[in-house]
A and B are shown apart, each in its own frame.
Chain A
Amino acid sequence: GESVGLHLPTLSVQEGDNSIINCAYSNSASDYFIWYKQESGKGPQFIIDIRSNMDKRQGQRVTVLLNKTVKHLSLQIAATQPGDSAVYFCAERDDKIIFGKGTRLHILP
């Protein structure tokens, strides 16, 4: 999951398995929660968002779950592929967008 430490958390997943990336957020007033993907040498890319009045949203091969009780957000990637290798950031929006520190997803062949 997300960390405030100097080292980026890393999740290693076998190709073809499902990946679950976790994130804890802090602001109960945030109305949107967002996931971004950043591939090496590129800018972050929007993946999916979820409004605070929802607890689940599905996209193409991705699902975001929101648990407001424990202020927890997760991104599930189905059938992980080599192209999913990247750093994943969660973000929350209140009056502005605050990004988490990121989790590196490493795909094992």
Chain B
Amino acid sequence: EAQVTQNPRYLITVTGKKLTVTCSQNMNHEYMSWYRQDPGLGLRQIYYSMNVEVTDKGDVPEGYKVSRKEKRNFPLILESPSPNQTSLYFCASSSLRTVYEQYFGPGTRLTVT
């Protein structure tokens, strides 16, 4: 089954404790992206990657890091999480030819206390 998987699905952590949210896709997609979704603000792009070893900032990259060492994986790293990073995070992937047609993961709900 073609899918995007994220782990963990739920995470409660404390300020300053480094964490990683993993994202993996099995569709051989070149393009991968991370979004955060907040009430009233919709989906905002954090980082995206157009291929292995190529990453770019989205609209809200501050406080986040990403890496793309393999085509299928695109982890999101919070080196020192803060409460304003409490949000619902989505990973998405697509082919480069049809970036408008993105496949989203199930989401990771992160709470930073």
A residues at B contact (CB < 8 Å): 5-8, 32, 34, 41-46, 49, 89, 91, 93, 96-97, 99-102
Most chain A CB neighbours (cut-off 10 Å) among B92, B100, B104, B106: B100
The answer to the question of B48 belonging to the interface, with a C-beta cut-off of 8 Å to chain A, is yes
Q: Give B71-113 interface residues, CB cut-off 8 Å to A.
A: 90, 92, 99-107
B1 CB to nearest chain A CB (Å): 14
Contact status A44-B43, CB under 8 Å:
yes
Beyond the given A34-B101, A41-B106, A91-B100, please list 10 additional residue pairs across the A-B interface where CB-CB is below 8 A. A5-B40, A6-B40, A7-B40, A43-B4, A44-B104, A49-B100, A93-B100, A99-B35, A100-B42, A101-B40
B94 CB to nearest chain A CB (Å): 9
Residues of B within 8 A of A96 (CB): 45, 48, 58
**A101 nearest in chain B by CB position:** B42
Contact status A43-B106, CB under 8 Å:
yes
Contact status A99-B42, CB under 8 Å:
yes
Residues of A within 8 A of B43 (CB): 44, 89, 99
**A30 nearest in chain B by CB position:** B100
